Amino acid sequence: GAGVSQSPRYKVAKRGQDVALRCDPISGHVSLFWYQQALGQGPEFLTYFQNEAQLDKSGLPSDRFFAERPEGSVSTLKIQRTQQEDSAVYLCASSFPVEGGDTGELFFGEGSRLTVL
């Protein structure tokens, strides 16, 4: 596709339910990021992949959060036993690293808005 695609765009979950959020990056983009954005806040880093390798997961708020990118393309962010504080927009971004390893410009999807009741 032309851009980063995320699904579902909107998800309502009952507290305790498991959810899975999908990200389809731009074809050929090596780097993939997940960010969490609460209302009125900036994006907060969750995790980073280079191809299929998860190089940094320091931003995942608890062990209920899990991300994977098994074939180095599509990524899934899974949240187990959702809590109300998990309500936020989850943004996925991809990039093609520039010379020197810098991640360069990030291309963001439109996000998945999660509401936990």
Partner 1 sequence: EDQVTQSPEALRLQEGESSSLNCSYTVSGLRGLFWYRQDPGKGPEFLFTLYSAGEEKEKERLKATLTKKESFLHITAPKPEDSATYLCASSGGSYIPTFGRGTSLIVHP
96 binds partner 1 (CB under 8 A): no
Location of structure tokens 């109300």: 84
Q: Which residues pair with 44 in a beta bridge?
A: 36
* CB closer to partner 1, 19 vs 46: 46
107 binds partner 1 (CB under 8 A): yes
48 binds partner 1 (CB under 8 A): yes
Token digits of residue 2 = 């032309």
Token digits of residue 116 = 């936990």
Q: How many CB atoms lie within 10 A of CB 83?
A: 14
Q: By the criterion CB under 8 A, which residues form the site for partner 1?
A: 4, 33, 35, 40-45, 48, 56, 91, 93, 100-111
